Amino acid sequence: MLYLKSPRLVPPNHPTQAKRRLEWGTLPPISAPNMFLDMCSLRISVKTLIIFAALVSLGDASRVKAQSCGSTGLAVQVLGSGGPEAQDKRASTSYLVWQDGKARVVLDAGGGSALRFGESGAQMSQVHVFLFSHFHVDHSSDFPALIFSSWFEDRNRPLPIYGPEGNEFTPSTTEFVHDLFSDPHGAWRYLSDLVEPGTASGGYTLQPHDVAAGSTPVLVLRNADMAVYAVKVIHGAFPALAWRVEMGGKRIVFSGDTNGEGDGLTQLAMNADLFVAHNAVPEGATGVERRLHMPPSVIGTIAANAHVQQLVLSHRMLRTLGKESETQAEIRRRYSGAILLANDLDCFPVK
């Protein structure tokens, strides 16, 4: 009698607390006349399994190589270096902060970033905190994909999520998370165990928090591993935050989307070891795009006044791509430090 294994996958943190398992199904006995054909099929199957195993091992090797970002010390990896345009052929905004080979902080999750997250070799089970700058689509649309993926990992502790308050144009952070996952009206309410206290197995729940930031930086989170600060920035009518992550004696600052008004971002970025600024508009931009984003001259002024060590330009849109020389020249008139251009999956060590 020949038996065949038939896998049925069940998420490890499913409410039923079922584990991944193999169920056995019975096939009819093999008759003698068909024995030769069956043995040939078996040999082909074994060969197929060997090829499959080799491919899997190659995939594992590539993931190990991807994890070289931040294998020691601190590093920022750009998962998404683009904006909302699909034509720029970049994932939308998302960043990882690596510490000693483990991804500890995720900031934003724009379209395409979930794929980049997988390519980076990062694990959601190792992430300490998830931060949002704001809830435009190009900063948040892949969040559900990352969370559903994380359900298949061995995370057994809550995931804190911090982001801005809401207004008539956008939900708050708590509303955003609950609108996605809560019963009875969440878009993906079948995952409601992730936001309903006491219902998820293994202790993995999402813990969203609204950050009431002002024009000066405020401490949002402090633990044994890091301190996280936020400041309110101007991004049109949308509530938005810039973030600073302090780890291992280093300061990493993310401008998010902002037109650069006020001195809050300069205060936040003061003496930063790495400053990620969004280069979404060219010099001379006017109208709505200028009310939403800062041109190179403003980026350079903030970087210079804050005495940042390295400047990384990200959120590169079609209107700035191809204008790198002009952008860098405009920044260089004000800022004399290192200027780096971000592409998807680029890794920037924090020195």
d(CA 32, CA 38): 10
Residues comprising the chain, all counted = 351
pLDDT at 345: 97
Confidence of residue 196 (pLDDT cuts 50, 70, 90): confident
d(CA 93, CA 82): 6
Q: Which of helix, strand or coil describes residue 199?
A: coil
Q: ∠ CA(280), CA(283), CA(285), 5° rounding?
A: 70
**Distance, CA of 103 to chain centre:** 10
Contact residues for 167 (Cβ-Cβ < 8 A; gap 6+): 237, 238, 239
Confidence of residue 325 (pLDDT cuts 50, 70, 90): very high
Of the CA atoms within 13 Å of residue 325, those in its CB half-sphere come to 1
The yes-or-no verdict on residue 213 having pLDDT over 90 is yes
Confidence of residue 200 (pLDDT cuts 50, 70, 90): low
The yes-or-no verdict on residue 25 having pLDDT over 70 is no
* pLDDT mean over 179-190: 95
Distances (CA, A) of 288 to 235, 260, 305, 317: 10, 14, 26, 15
pLDDT digits (tens, 9 = 90+) for 55-81: 433 344 333 344 468 788 999 999 999
* pLDDT mean over 26-55: 42
Looking at the chain, the whole-number percentage of residues with pLDDT higher than 70 is 79
Of the CA atoms within 13 Å of residue 47, those in its CB half-sphere come to 6
Distances (CA, A) of 165 to 74, 191, 237, 290: 29, 24, 12, 23
d(CA 184, CA 222): 34
pLDDT at 69: 86
Give the pairing type, strands 250-254 and 238-247. antiparallel
Confidence of residue 199 (pLDDT cuts 50, 70, 90): low
